Amino acid sequence: MPRQLTLVIGGARSGKSHFAEQLATDHAALTRGPVTYIATARHDVDSTDEEMELRIALHRARRPADWTLVEEPVHLADALYGHARHDGCILVDCVTLWLNNLIFSESRDYPEHGVITPPPAFTEEIDALMTALPMLPGHVILVTNEIGFGVVPMGAITRFYVDELGRLNQKLAAAADRVRLLNRVALTLIEHEDELAALEARDTGKPLRQARADARAVARYFEFYAGAADKLHGQTIPYQAGYTVLTVREPHGVTGHIIPWNYPLQIFGRSVGAALAAGNACVVKPAEDACLSLLRVAELAAEAGLPEGALNIVTGYGHEAGAALARHPGINHISFTGSPETGKLVSQLAAENHVPVTLELGGKSPQIVFADADLDALLPVVVNGIVQNAGQTCSAGSRLLVERPVYEELLDRVASVFESLRVGPSELDLECGPLISRKQQQRVWDFVSDAQHAGISVMAQGQIVAEAPESGYYQVPMLFRDVPATHRLAQEEVFGPLLAASSSPRRCGRSMPTAT
């Protein structure tokens, strides 16, 4: 296989244990052969504990392991050449070799200003490692620390990890860079607002002005999270005298994001923008029904300077690409927006790897109107709550619960507005565009049919304009009155422009019709 060298900066016990876990899961980069741990046995007081931790982690991963404990730093080259036919992974603990050589040498030449020059013996061993590297068929992991980083040729490193103080310092130093980078991404998105709005409208079917609001929103999310990137503070905690106790916020690592089709730009912005600001690498699975705008956003982000690998878009069906992302052992956090049923499946898959999940699922949001409400002010709010994006919104105000004294008056007003609503192609920029798919259109039709069979009256509805093609997935907004609280129209999420109205004789919350 191709020669690979991973450099781990740090090297205390947590660094090796961390990489043992990495070895347990990273089959794409590492072979499935045995793992050899090379370190000194002379002065490494923690070697027994470290060996046990590594053995346990590798045993769980069913990775065979052997241990080579060299007596002196000069024996490292011999140990490496002894594994010239090794087809697995070699973990070389050069921190121990170097520090032992430095600390236990007779002349301790600690320079001023805290800069330690690597001793000649250590430099020679690094040279030996670099020479042996092409001969080793497996994967070599070199554990060193910050002060030894300069002696390892950058061109030889295929991957590197920074552990403990080196890792923390790198993250803190990079936070300011993330601020500037995310602001550049936001500015780039603003400059391409028209292009993104057109893509979003074409892909989702929503009217152009609504798509333009989404394009502005994604840029605003990146601006917001850019401002937060260097303000993710930890805490200092009072404790006993002589102790310093603190918390540090760190990135999850690699985060997965499953984005729905109704608001691709907006949900991408508030999910991925936050993850990037915290220092994570993101893998995004957009909906198969609407992915064009996000593919373009990823291109623009790369043009703005986002590093390669920080943002990855994986298209595909939910049951294939989405399921693979949710259960992948390399994912450290999952964000999902979609139906409650699919959210349950995502949680179950993520639980296989004990991965935390953030879910934004559907709902059946009521709009509640009391008798003393300002009907003039609330009328456009009530209508827009169900008409926006043709009702395909998880927070759509799909139920209208009205106190009886104003029920008839409000319904008359709402009905008048509904009759003026027009539905057509997104480029006409009307009140409603088409639904996302034939499947979603059929779902809405099923709700309408069930309501009609139950004798529920349609008080008003909009109209499809003549310019709309007959093959489009259009659905007129419909106002249903006196909908029983037990009917599915009042109970279940429709995801279409159907408004279910009902009345209550009193203001008391218990007397208002509620879904259970």
Separation CA 499–CA 459 (nearest Å): 10
Task: Report how far residue 115's alpha carbon sits from residue 494's, in angstroms, rounded to the nearest whole number.
Answer: 66
CATH number for the domain harbouring residue 152: 3.40.50.2300
Residues 144 and 230 in one domain: no
Q: Of 135, 162, 189, which marks where a domain is finished?
A: 162
- Is residue 339 located within the same domain as residue 464? no
Q: Give the CATH number of the domain where residue 353 resides.
A: 3.40.605.10
Q: What is the pLDDT of residue 221?
A: 98
Query: Tell me, what's the pLDDT at 27?
Result: 43
89 a catalytic residue: no
Q: Which of 392, 357, 363 is nearest to 266 (CA)?
A: 392
Active-site residue identified among 53, 288, 360, 492: 360
pLDDT, position 459: 96
Domain identity same for 392 and 353: no
pLDDT at residue 329, as a whole number:
85
- The total number of structural domains in the chain stands at 3
Given this model, what pLDDT does residue 251 score? Answer: 87
CA 256 to chain CA centroid, Å, is 4
Active site residue 360: yes
* Shared-domain flag, residues 353 and 389: no
The pLDDT, as a whole number, for residue 467 is: 94
Q: Are residues 346 and 240 in the same domain?
A: yes
156/200 same-domain check: no
Amino acid 62: pLDDT? 63
Together in a domain, 422 and 328: no
**Active-site pick, 125, 394, 403, 493:** 394
Residue 36 backbone phi and psi in degrees, to 5:
-110, 130
Q: Within a domain: residue 466? A: yes
Residues of the domain holding 82? 4-162
Mean pLDDT by 10 residues, the chain (516 residues): 54 48 48 62 48 63 64 63 62 54 40 44 63 67 52 53 41 72 95 97 96 97 95 89 87 92 97 94 94 96 88 91 90 94 95 94 92 96 96 95 96 97 96 96 97 96 95 96 96 96 70 48
pLDDT value, residue 81:
64
Instruction: Tell me: do 174 and 323 sit in the same domain.
Output: yes
Q: C-alpha dihedral over 168, 257, 202, 262, to 10 degrees?
A: -120
Domain for residue 516, yes or no? Answer: no
Question: What pLDDT score was predicted for residue 288?
Answer: 94
Q: Is the pTM of this model over 0.85?
A: no
Query: What's the Cα-to-Cα distance from 97 to each of 94, 128, 143, 144, rounded to whole Å?
Result: 5, 14, 10, 9
Instruction: Say if residue 210 is in the same domain as residue 237.
Output: yes
Rg (CA), the chain: 30
Could you tell me if 270 and 289 lie in one domain? yes
